[in-house]
Structure 1
Amino acid sequence: MAVFTPVSDDDVRALLTHYTLGELVSLRGITAGIENTNYFLTTTQGEYVLTLFEVLTCEQLPFYIELMHHLAQRHIPVPEPQTLRDGTRLTALYDKPCTIVTRLSGGYEPAPSAAHCALAGATLAQAHLAARDFGIKQPNLRGLSWWRETTPKVLPFLSGTQSALLQETLDEQIRFAENNVYRALPTGPAHCDLFRDNVLFDGTFEMPRMGGFIDFYFAGCDTWLFDVAVSVNDWCIEPNTGVFDTEKLAAWVGAYAENRPFTSNEKAAWPVLLRAAALRFWVSRLYDFYLPRPAQTLKPHDPRHFERILLERRKTTVLALP
């Protein structure tokens, strides 16, 4: 999330005439993140988030909007896209696609406990299962094809050692994608970006309650194990080194497995998918850091963080899946 496009109160008032959400009370920009323009929107009827899409197209967006609607209808705690008077859930502002979704309660936990990890793992498994009958198919747009396309663009900014690490890991993932183990992994709609700041919690630190998952705009059909790997590479680590906290990792994957048991192929693929998840975010952070788009408020992440995580996943034995 960021503010690439300034939005005026008058234009939001005009936008709200196409909904039944009441009158504008306040509008406040959200500066976190790097992909879309987001505002907290308060009306006389409730709290919402207004999103203008800066990269995704009208053709791509129905997957994300309808997936959130599908999950919300099945009682998974996610922002629910609001329906316009004409029955659609996607419109436009400043010639850019936009949507309004419910604002979930709670806040994100920057230093999650094992209890937070267990809640996140259980909810992700429930979301995977709830999405099995979702009818729209769209690949993960930041998957292997994108890594292959983007790597040559970032290599000129890297040292020889970094370039070798990136290319070797990419080659491993290309080979593994042709492997029968990979092809047998369960797949379906996946969040693909379930970092700590994309999960909200209510309650107290000692007794947290799930508030919900947000920011589905990197979602796509992928292996569910990749979704898990992306998550634990953020939730269950020592932040300065990327080393796994085994208590948090065991809580996360254990709670997931209680809701959707891992297959034998997933257990075999686990180390490779953890490296895939680290590679995906190293490449994207390199791209955003060295080749950024103009933005009114933009805070690119340090790509060295996922370089460290990738190095750690290459050299250590990982806790086996339950």
Structure 2
Amino acid sequence: MSVFTKVSHAQLKRFLTQYPVGPLINFQGIGEGVENTNYFVDTADGRWVLTLFERLNYDDLPYFLGLMEHLASRGFPGAMPMRNQAGDTLTSLNDRPAALVRRLAGQGVLFPTLHQCEEIGRALGELHVLGQSYAGHCDNSRGPDWRHETAMAVLPKADEDAAELIRDELNAQAALDLAALPQGVIHADLFRDNALFVDERLTGVIDFYYACNDALLYDLAVTVNDWCFETDGSLNGARWATMTAAYRSRRELTSEEVAAWPLVLRAAAFRFYLSRLYDWLFPREGDVVHVKDPAAYRRILERHRKLAPPAL
């Protein structure tokens, strides 16, 4: 959610005339995240988030916007995309695909409580259940092929220790077949900054633009890695137990998933270590660009490589 494409007051005012949202009152760029340009937009009839997609193209986006509609219409706490006067959720602004979605109340959390972890675990399980009835399909753009290609790109610039870690983990991940595990719609990026809370109550799950069809267990691993580990890479066992139990209250795991769990945790940590390392080594230009330190996910990956996770 960085600002790569600037939008002027006049441009935004013209853009909003195609939506039944009333006159523009105020807007501001959002300086967090790394993929798209985002603005908070206030109009006479509500509060919104405008997203300009920097990497995704027009053909990719109906899957994500349709999924958001599918979930929100079934009571899931996700943002509902706004349809313009022509009935479309996808439009364009400044030569970028663009979408306007309703802004949800609440804020992300830095230090989640056990109740917040319970809320997220239950919501993720609910997402996986509701996603089974979504007709759209999208392959994981950051699956095994992407991990291999990105590793090859960063290896020439990585230091010797990092390069050795990357090569060894690629070899280890060759034994993992995520396609053999239960599949469905996954969020794939349910980090703490993509969940909104008012006090202890979950009010929104946002940023579905990495969503795809993949192993459901992988999505749980992505979420656990962010919510249940400290900045030094150590495990917070109470958060872990609370979140995984809440998830299983909505969707039980198979014996195959339980057996695959250690390597799936590593795959999830490896994916974010590689993406952050790539962005660190190949920074993008933008008015406000937030690049996350890859060291945090290197510590989590190394922890998974050395220690077995608690039993599910």
- TM-score band by shorter chain is over 0.9
Cα deviation 1:235-265 (Å, max 9, x = unaligned): 011212x121111000000000001111111
The one-letter code sitting in structure 2 at the alignment partner of 1:59 is: D
Runs of 4+ in 1 over 6 A off after TM superposition: none
**Residue 261 (1) aligns with residue 252 (2):** yes
Structure 2: how far apart are the matches of 1:45 and 1:175?
53
Aligned mate of 1:227, from 207, 219, 223: 219
Note the C-alpha offset of 1:171. 2.0
Structure 1 residue 6 displacement after superposition: 0.8
Cα distance per residue 1:260-319 (max 9 Å; x no partner): 111111101110010001100010001111112211111211111111111000111211
User: Aligned equivalents of 1:58 and 1:167: distance in 2?
Assistant: 35
Amino acid in the other structure paired with 1:231: T
Whole-Å Cα distance in 1 between the matches of residues 74 and 305 of structure 2? 38
User: Aligned to 1:81, what secondary structure does the other structure show?
Assistant: coil
Shift of 1:159: 2.2
**1:173-204 per-position Cα deviation (integer Å, ceiling 9, x unaligned):** 22212xxxx443111111101110110011x3
In the alignment, structure 1 segments of 5+ residues that lack a partner are none
Tell me what 2:3 maps to: 3
Aligned to 1:113: 113
Q: Which residue of 1 aligns with 2:132?
A: 132
> Match for 1:272 among 239, 249, 263?
263
Contact 2:179–2:215, Cα closer than 8 Å, also in 1: no
- Residue 197 of structure 2 aligns to a residue in which SS? strand
Partner of 1:188, secondary structure, is: strand
Q: What CA RMSD, in Å, does the superposition of the two structures yield over aligned residues?
A: 1.0
- The residue aligned with 1:188 is 184
Q: Distance in 1 between matches of 2:205 and 2:166?
A: 30
Q: Structure 2 counterpart of 1:17, which letter? A: T
Measure how far apart 1:21 and its partner are. Answer: 1.1
Q: Shift of residue 158 of structure 1?
A: 1.6
Q: 2:301 maps to which residue?
A: 310
How far has the Cα of 1:142 moved from its partner?
Answer: 1.2
Asked if structure 1 preserves the Cα contact closer than 8 Å seen for 2:176 and 2:264, the reply is no
Letter in 2 for 1:13: K
For 1:169 and 1:102, the matched residues in 2 are separated by 40
TM-score relative to the length of structure 2? 0.98
- How does the TM-score come out when normalised to structure 1? 0.95
Aligned-partner SS, 1:107? coil
Query: 2:207 maps to what in 1?
Result: 215
Distance 1:174 1:41 in 2: 45
Residue identity opposite 2:185 in structure 1 = P
Amino acid aligned to 1:232: V
What's the counterpart of residue 294 of structure 1? 285
Q: In the alignment, what sits opposite 1:144? A: 144
Q: Distance in 2 between matches of 1:230 and 1:120?
A: 12
Q: Secondary structure at the match of 1:98?
A: strand
Could you tell me how far 1:161 is from its partner in structure 2? 2.2
> Identity of paired residues, percent?
42
Alpha-carbon offset, residue 24 of structure 1 = 0.5
Tell me how far apart the structure 1 counterparts of residues 56 and 69 of structure 2 sit (CA, whole Å): 18
Which runs of no fewer than 5 residues in structure 2 stay unpaired?
none
One-letter amino acid of the structure 2 residue matched with residue 31 of structure 1: G
- State whether structure 2 residue 19 is matched by structure 1 residue 27: no
Q: Which residue number corresponds to residue 193 of structure 2?
A: 197
The count of corresponding residues between Structure 1 and Structure 2 is 312
Query: How far did residue 135 of structure 1 move?
Result: 1.1
Instruction: Indicate yes or no: 2:84 matched with 1:84.
Output: yes
User: Per-residue deviation at 1:94?
Assistant: 0.7
